[in-house]
Amino acid sequence: MGQFILNRILSGIIVIFGISVFSFLLIHFIPGDPVKIMLGQNATPEAIKQLNENLGLDKPLLVQYTTYITNVLQGDFGTSLKTGRPVITEILDRFPETVKLAAAGIFIAIVIGITLGIIAARFKSSFIDSGVMMLATLGVSIPSFWLAILLIMVFSVKFTWFPIAEGTGLRDLVLPAVTIGVLASTMISRLTRNGMVETLSNDFIRTARAKGLEERIILFRHALRNVLIPVVTLIGLQMAALLGGTVIIEQVFNWPGLGTLAIGAISSRDFPLIQGTVLFMGVVYVMINILIDVIYGIIDPRIDLSAKEAR
């Protein structure tokens, strides 16, 4: 197990290295002189030279990258061109809000998704089943901004139950979290249902039923545990994606998370901030993935992680 985790971390580091190279090169992909674009047309030649030196753009690429990565390792992601504050401060200001939103959204997704999945499986081929699966299809096809705007129009504007763009308190959290939850639940419910249907047709379930066990115990104790593995993977992946900032949902609900930070950075051509957020999101994504692999082993002891790796 220890060996496996080590391997996963090592491969994670390689991926992160790749991301760092990519985010570093980002600034060099810009057509034209990035410094001129950053400073605008009225920039004096001195200012251009100054920024070129500050960003180290006058040095060879390899030297630039080494400096960049050394600084990053020391926690220095550079300085935001717009606000003049350290990039890491800007990111850490926003990250907790994104975590809050992602956690609340995933929580709602799990509750809705697993509940609906179990119900659909329990009443397989009935109208309840097709209804739930219809909902899931609908959920996958609804664009997130559409659902977001619909919820705002109904619950903020018409009924004024939940505020819009007021802050990041519990009441503010409800609508964006429900939007994320509803959309993310669709995949979960589908996966849960299919897994359950498959598991429920197994011999051991038939045995359990024959023993006269309560349906509740069969569903939750015997069947659900077997279904959880792919579901947890999915949830993990969704969580990782959400932690990168749900750009559209954050934008529509004016949620001050990483997504809106990234959008703002792009629209104000704040390159150090763009680089920083890309790298940060990448690291988070990789770390969550490693975490999921570890959780596997805990949920299902049958998975011998080191053995799988050795194969």
Q: Which is nearer to other proteins, 115 or 254 (CB)?
A: 254
Among 84, 169, 212, 301, binds other proteins (CB under 8 A): 84
Q: Which is nearer to other proteins, 105 or 176 (CB)?
A: 176
Among 15, 26, 99, 164, binds other proteins (CB under 8 A): 164
- Largest interatomic CA distance in the chain: 85
Residues 212-271 that bind other proteins (CB under 8 A): 251-254, 256-257, 260-261, 263-264, 268-269
Instruction: Give the contact letters, 166-195, x = binds to other proteins (CB under 8 A), - = no.
Output: xxx---------------------------
Q: Is 141 in the site for other proteins (CB under 8 A)?
A: no
Pick the stretch among 55-63, 156-164, 205-213, 290-298 that binds other proteins (CB under 8 A).
Answer: 156-164
Residues near other proteins (CB under 8 A), total: 48
Position 204, amino acid:
F
Q: Is 143 in the site for other proteins (CB under 8 A)?
A: no
Q: Is 149 in the site for other proteins (CB under 8 A)?
A: yes
Pick the stretch among 38-46, 64-72, 181-189, 225-233 that binds other proteins (CB under 8 A).
Answer: 38-46
Pick the stretch among 21-29, 36-44, 62-70, 298-306 that binds other proteins (CB under 8 A).
Answer: 36-44
Q: Is 52 in the site for other proteins (CB under 8 A)?
A: no
Q: Is 94 in the site for other proteins (CB under 8 A)?
A: yes
Q: What is the 3-state secondary structure (H, E, C) of the chain?
A: CHHHHHHHHHHHHHHHHHHHHHHHHHHHHCCCCHHHHHHCCCCCHHHHHHHHHHCCCCCCHHHHHHHHHHHHHCCCCCECCCCCCEHHHHHHHHHHHHHHHHHHHHHHHHHHHHHHHHHHHHCCCCHHHHHHHHHHHHHHHCCHHHHHHHHHHHHHHHCCCCCCCCCCCHHHHHHHHHHHHHHHHHHHHHHHHHHHHHHHCCHHHHHHHHCCCCHHHHHHHHHHHHHHHHHHHHHHHHHHHHHCCCHHHHHHCCCCCHHHHHHHHHHCCCHHHHHHHHHHHHHHHHHHHHHHHHHHHHHCCCCCHHHHHHC
Which residues are at the interface with other proteins (CB under 8 A)?
31-32, 36-37, 40-42, 82-85, 90, 93-94, 97, 125, 127, 130-131, 134, 138, 149-150, 152-154, 156-158, 160, 163-168, 251-254, 256-257, 260-261, 263-264, 268-269
